[in-house]
Structures are given as C-alpha cells and as structure tokens.
Structure 1
Amino acid sequence: MKKAFLLATVLAAPLWGMAQKSNLDAAQLLRDVQVLSADSMQGRLSGSEGNALAQDYILGRFKELGLKPYNGDFKQHFRIDAKRVQVDKATNLVGYIPGKSGKAIVVTAHYDHVGQRNGDIYNGADDNASGIGALLAAIAHFAKHPPKHTIVFAALDGEELGLQGARAFVENPPLPLQDILLNVNMDMLGINDKGELYASGTYHYPALKPYLQQVKPRPNAKLVLGHDQPEQGHDDWTGQSDHFRFHERGIPYVYFGVEDHPYYHKPTDDYEQVNKAFYPDAAALVIDFLERIDGKLERLPQKTQP
C-alpha cells in the first residue's frame, strides 16, 4: 500500500461519549500485532517460512474465536508468478460468521509483507499486521454479536506482489460474487500522530457516505474521507490495496488506512512504532462502521463512472 499526504474533510460527528458500540480488547489487539511483526516471522514474504508461521498463528486465532471455514478448510491456495517471486502455494485464509440475509460483507486485510532485504527484516507491524489485528478484533466482536448479513473474513496473501490474494479470492470466491454487498479492506491502521484514520471509497460509492458519517469519533482517532479521486494521481488510493480487485468487479468498498509515515516499507516498521493509543481506537472505528452498515445495508449502487 502506498499513500501520501492529502488535505481532506473531517467527518462531522457528535461527541464521542454519545454512542460507542464495540467493546474491543486492546491488549489482545496489540498482542496479535506484536506476534505477527516479530523477527521470527521473517517479514512474512509470500512463500517463505515466516509467512507459513504467520498463517499458523492466524489459523489458531480463527479457531479460537469460533470462525467457520468454507467446506471444512480455511485455506485457499493459489499460485503467484510475479517478476521478483514465484510462489507455487500462496495461501488466503478465509472463514465466516453466518448471518440471516443470504448476502455478505467481505472484510479483508493482507498478512504478507516484503520479507528480508540486505540482512534486514522488514517486520511490517503497520503494513499490515495492524490490519490483521483489527480483522481478528472484528471477528471477536461479531462472534458475540451475530450479524444480520454473513460476514466473510479473509486474511489475504500476496498483496505486496500485486494484490494477488485478492485476485484469487474474486476469481474463485467461496460464495457467489453477486451475493457480496460490500468489501471493507484494512491496510495500515497503526501509526498516525494526528489521530486520523482515512475512509477511502465514497467518491466511487457516494451511497456509503451517510454510514461513515454516523461513526462517532474516539478520543484518539477520527474518520476522515478522501484519497479516492482519479485526478489526485498517486494520492488516489483506489488501486493501491486489495479492495481494488473488488472494485474491478463492481463491488462497493471502503478502504481504511493511514497516510504514509517514515516507517512505511522500511526495516523500522516495528511493533514499537505502533501508536498504542491511536491504533485500538482506529480498529474500533472500523468495527463501529461494520456494525452500523450491517444493520442497514441492503444493496449499494454499482460504481460511478468518472
């Protein structure tokens, strides 16, 4: 994921104390990120031993939280044939919490990172152990508060090699694509000194804006809209993470992430850099949005054509 600074409009919202729905276990959230960004994971490059260790940890948490697998197996294997790396058995990890509507929301975050370079381990605490930590926190929430719509949780592989895991998911989905109402993608939620979490996607899907405006700010994090207009060039995040593969198929998305920081794709993207006050609140904002939209979402219009 690549991002840069952009002025945007902060969503107007009532005071934080008026409504807070998600009860997030901040200690567990941070523990998940700390484990996944440890040196032992070797930077989680697709196809590596460290990537396999990350898979094992995530699978253990899926089972602990009671997530259900499709056809008895959480693993979706696929091949990556990229310029830098060929991987015969890359692996998405996919499960779900059943709803009652027959339709689904797909929540994604990639667990791979860039591995090791010149003797340095690129631990990817923010990119994207933070997204996986929030995904696990969302599973924990909806396991206790059953959703209206089925929520599919996908920890995707191969994002750093060209959004390969997301491509594999939409090409071989565990449920019909026409039953997917929305993709919510999380990529880098853990480091922002201004307390700003961006929600990108309302330019293409303006019907999503009212749902995002209902999300109340937290003491250490607030939602900001932006980074989704074609004229913004590199500052347009539309094609810069896994949500793009859903967008290509006309599936509405919201992408939650922070702007670039000095640790992005550097060996210094370590657990110690994660903002321990901002990150739990940022993850809670995503869960609040999911809960609100799950209760009201029926069918969003397809993407606009600029």
Structure 2
Amino acid sequence: MKHRLCISIFFFLCIVTLSSAQKLEQPKQAQDHYNFNTESLIANIKMLSSDAFEGRRTGTEGGKKAKDYIIEKYKKFNIQPLADDYQQPFSFTARGKSYQGVNVLGYIKGSKHQDHYIVISAHYDHEGIKNNQIYNGADDDASGIAALFAFAEYFEKHPPEHSVILAAFDAEELGISGSRYFVNNSIVPLERINLNINMDMISRNDNNELYVVGTAFNNTLRTVISKYKTVKDITLLMGHDGKDGLENWTNSSDHAPFHKKNIPFLYFGVEDHKDYHKPTDDFENIQPEFYKKAVNTVISIFAIIDKMRL
C-alpha cells in the first residue's frame, strides 16, 4: 500500500508541475503583445503635441519644426525618401490666402510586390495659435503621426510584401490640400497605388470604440474587417460611410482624394470629442491604453492585407 501511495503521489505531483509549466509557457494575450515600442509611441505624441511646436500650423515655424521632426524619425528607422530629402513642397490657396505646404514622404521597398503600393498616411498640421492660445492637436493628428513612426519601427523587423509609402501630409486642416496635391502629382504611378490606410484621431474614446471607414466601397476590405477579431477593451466598428445614418466621414480627411481617384481606402478614427478643434486637445487628455491598442489594431489589419495580392 505504501508503494502504491507513493506512486500515486508522485504522478499527482508530476501532473501539477506539468500543468503549472504549461501555464507559464502560455503566450501572452494578443492585447499584451505589440510589434512596436509603446513607450516611444506615447513619447512621440507627447512631443508633437507640446507647446514647442506651436500647434503645427501650415507654413509656420511650428509646422516646419514638425516636418523636421518627422524626417529625423524616418531616418532613424532607415525609411528611404520617396521625394528629394523626403519633402514634396506645394503651393495652394485656402480661405483667400496663399500657403506653402510640404508633404513628408518615406518609402519602404516591398519584398514581393515591389511595383504595388500601399500608402499609410496621417496629417501633421493643426490649427496653430489663435487668440494667444496654442491648439496642440494631440488627437488631431499627432496621434496619427506618432502611429506612422510605430509602423516604421514595425517594418524594421517585418518588411512589407507590398511597397509602402509613409505619408505625413501637410495642410489637412486647410482643405485637405496636401493629400490632394499628392494624388494629383503622384511620384509613383497612381494606378499602382492599391490602398490608402489613413489615421486621423485615434488616441481617445470613452467607449473604447475605433471606427473604420471605407469597407462600404470594397468587398475585399469589408471581408477582412468583418473577420478581424479585436483585442480586449477595444471595439472596431464599420460605419460613417454615408450608408448607416451616421455622420459621413468619406470625405472628412486625407483619404478623400484617394477615394475620388477610385483608390480603395481604410480610414481609422474616433467620434468627435469635447476637445475637437479646441485648445484643450492636449496630450493630457489622450487615453494611452486605448491609443496603444488602436495603433496595434491598425498595424495588425495592415499585416493581414499585405499578405494578400491587391
């Protein structure tokens, strides 16, 4: 009996030990795994939305400082210039005034489909200074630009199959002028641009909801998004495309010129909040955990689409 009891205890301990080891070896949940440095993501949105950039108004010293900051980050992550020194300058008139803008364009050569492009975009300009108050635009759209840097970091370890253009557009707040100039004066053949992924306001939402617009116009993208399983504490919703009774965002940001050229797009954004286009759109009001998961969601969806032959 003693021998049988010892053997039973031995096997019980083995099972408990094995079970504990398996628990320890379980991979982290998806929401805990990021393919970019989340601390850098937060540091970049904090920097870009600081008073030092004076609201990043097109044509101002603050706007130029933001442009230089983006170029510095592209170089850090070995992103190649698509245009001369990454810069695509353009002139335009808005609200009866002439402006000089500069798009900042980086390039990553695809490993398989080099002649087919995905443009990942965000705008770096904001409202500047009004009535001696700085409109820092943390959510609108320092959040999108910092996410571009997260993409750049992601590509260091996960080279894309399609060629990618990282486009930091200027003058979105002045009639979506930067992205319009880009598509009307495309450096690469327009017919080779297969998709635009645009990010504008992705760092805060009280209901943890992130919207994606564009699936109503493309069955393939609708299928990808409908099958995508979001991580914990964030809900990805299709809508705001003019077909669901919600405010129509189809032409609301830098994806609009792509859509007008019949280029498929996915626009990621949140509902307007109380600080939208106000001097209170500051870093202190973003929601860091939501923001990290939102960026991770966009990168994960890109990774799925990049594996497809567009």
Q: 1:123 to 1:18 in 2, by over 3 A?
A: closer
Counterpart Cα distance in 1 of 2:289 and 2:32:
16
State the aligned residue count.
281
- 1:210 corresponds, among 223, 245, 251, to 223
Asked if the contact 2:120–2:198 (Cα under 8 Å) also holds between the matched residues in 1, the reply is: yes
2:157 alignment partner in structure 1: 144
Identify the residue that residue 191 of structure 2 maps to in structure 1: 178
Q: Which runs of 5+ in 2 are unaligned?
A: 1-27
**Match of 2:7?**
none
Distance 2:260 2:32 in 1: 34
Query: Does 163-172 or 203-212 show the bigger shift?
Result: 203-212
> Which residue of 104, 107, 113 maps to 1:93?
104
Post-superposition shift, 1:216?
A: 2.7
Contact 2:45 2:138 in 1 (8 A): yes
Q: 1:62 aligns with which of 67, 70, 74?
A: 74
1:148-163 to structure 2, matched below 5 A, reads 148-163=161-176
Contact 2:83 2:105 in 1 (8 A): no
Query: What SS does the aligned partner of 2:127 have?
Result: coil
- 2:293 — aligned with what? 281
Corresponding residue SS for 1:92: strand
Q: What is residue 294 of structure 1 aligned with on the other side?
A: 306
Task: Identify, as 1 or 2, the structure richer in helix.
Answer: 2
Q: After TM superposition, give the deviation of residue 295 of structure 1 in Å.
A: 0.4
Once residues 43 and 227 of structure 2 are traced to their aligned partners in structure 1, the CA distance between those partners, rounded to angstroms, is: 29
Equivalents in 1 of 2:224, 2:82: separation in Å? Answer: 29
Please tell me whether residue 243 in structure 1 is matched to residue 255 in structure 2.
yes
1:204 to partner: Cα distance: 1.5
Choose 1 or 2 for highest CA Rg: 2
Q: Which residue, out of 42, 64, 67, partners 2:54?
A: 42
> 2-side partners of 1:55 and 1:127: how far apart?
16
8 A Cα contact 2:30 2:231, kept in partner: no
SS at match of 1:147: coil
Q: Give the CA deviation at 1:84.
A: 5.5
Partner of 1:268: 280
Closer, same or farther: CA 20–149 of 1 in aligned 2, 3 Å: farther
- Return the alpha-carbon distance in structure 2 between the equivalents of residues 117 and 63 of structure 1: 33
Aligned structure 1 segments of 4 or more residues deviating by more than 3 angstroms:
16-22, 230-233
In the alignment, the residues of structure 1 paired with residue 210 and residue 29 of structure 2 have an alpha-carbon distance, to the nearest angstrom, of 19
**Structure 1: gaps spanning 5 or more residues:** 1-15, 299-306
| Cα drift, residue 139 of structure 1 | 1.3
Q: Deviations over 1:72-122 (max 9, x none)?
A: 4200000121115421x3100001111021201011100000111111100
Partner of 1:301: none
Query: Any idea what the Cα deviations from partners look like across 1:3-44, whole Å, max 9, x if unmatched?
Result: xxxxxxxxxxxxx94698752211000111011000111111
Give the whole-Å Cα distance in 1 for the aligned partners of 2:189 and 2:266. 20
Report if aligned partners of 1:97, 1:143 keep a CA contact under 8 Å in 2.
no
**Corresponding residue for residue 119 of structure 1:** 132
Distance 1:284 1:215 in 2: 13
User: In 2, distance between residues paired with 1:192 and 1:270?
Assistant: 14
Answer whether contact 2:125 2:171 (CA < 8 A) is retained: yes
Relative to 1, partners in 2 of residues 1:20 and 1:103: Cα closer, same or farther, differing over 3 Å?
farther
C-alpha contact (below 8 Å) 2:118/2:193 kept by paired residues = yes
Amino acid at match of 2:259: H
Deviation readout 1:173-201 (Å, 9 max, x if unpaired): 12100001100000000110111110111
RMSD of the alignment, in Å?
1.7
Distance 1:159 1:114 in 2: 10
> Is residue 90 of structure 2 the alignment partner of residue 78 of structure 1?
yes
> Would the alpha carbon gap of residues 22 and 174 (structure 1) be closer, same or farther in structure 2, given more than 3 Å must change?
farther
Mapped partners of 1:218, 1:22: distance in 2: 11
The alpha-carbon deviation at position 45 of structure 1 amounts to: 0.6
Instruction: Tell me how far apart the structure 1 counterparts of residues 165 and 241 of structure 2 sit (CA, whole Å).
Output: 24
